[in-house]
C-alpha cells in the first residue's frame, strides 16, 4: 500500500523545526512538496538527515520554482550541502503544468 502526503507550507519559516512534523510517519512513501523553493530546500535537508530518500521514499516537486536548480542555494537558512539535497531529490518527480 502506497501512502502519500501533500506538504503545504505557507508562513512557517518562523518555526525552525516544522519540517520534522511531516517526516515522522515511515509508512508515508510519497511526499508532494507544495511549498516555495526556500521551504522545499529546508525540508530536503531534514529528509536527508532522517534518511527519507530514494529508494524507499520519493519527493514530487513543482516546475514553478524560480530557477532550474532551485535546490542549490547559499541561503543562511540552509544548513546542509547541495550534495545532501541532491541525494534527497534523487529519482524525484517534477509535476508538469500545461
Summarised one tens digit per residue, pLDDT across range 66-78 is 567 777 765 655 6
> Which residues are paired to 9 by β-bridges?
35
Q: In 3D, which of 56, 58, 80 has the Cα closest to residue 5?
A: 58
- How distant is the alpha carbon of residue 22 from its chain centre? 10
Which pLDDT value is given to residue 22?
Answer: 65
Which of 14-23, 24-33, 48-57, 73-82 shows the lowest mean pLDDT across its residues?
14-23
User: Does residue 96 carry a pLDDT above 70?
Assistant: no
pLDDT band at 16; cut points 50, 70, 90: very low
* pLDDT on residue 12: 46
Rounded CA gap, 27 and 39, in Å? 23
Q: pLDDT tens digits, residue range 39-85?
A: 777 777 788 888 887 888 888 877 666 567 777 765 655 677 888 87
Q: Where are the alpha helices (DSSP H) in the chain?
A: 19-22, 37-49, 82-89
Domain ranges of the chain: 3-94
Contacts of 75 (CB under 8 A, 6+ apart): 38, 41
Please, what is the Cα angle at 51 between 37 and 14, to 5 degrees? 40
> What is the percent of the chain with per-residue pLDDT over 70, rounded to a whole number?
61
Amino acid at each position: 500500500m502506497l501512502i502519500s502526503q501533500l506538504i503545504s507550507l505557507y508562513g512557517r519559516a518562523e518555526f525552525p523545526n516544522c519540517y520534522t512534523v511531516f517526516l515522522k510517519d515511515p509508512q508515508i512513501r510519497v511526499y508532494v512538496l507544495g511549498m516555495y523553493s526556500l521551504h522545499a530546500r529546508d525540508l530536503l535537508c531534514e529528509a536527508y538527515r532522517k534518511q527519507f530518500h530514494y529508494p524507499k521514499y520519493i519527493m514530487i516537486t513543482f516546475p514553478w520554482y524560480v530557477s532550474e536548480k532551485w535546490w542549490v542555494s547559499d541561503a543562511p537558512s540552509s544548513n546542509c550541502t547541495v550534495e545532501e539535497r541532491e541525494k534527497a531529490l534523487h529519482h524525484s518527480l517534477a509535476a508538469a503544468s500545461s
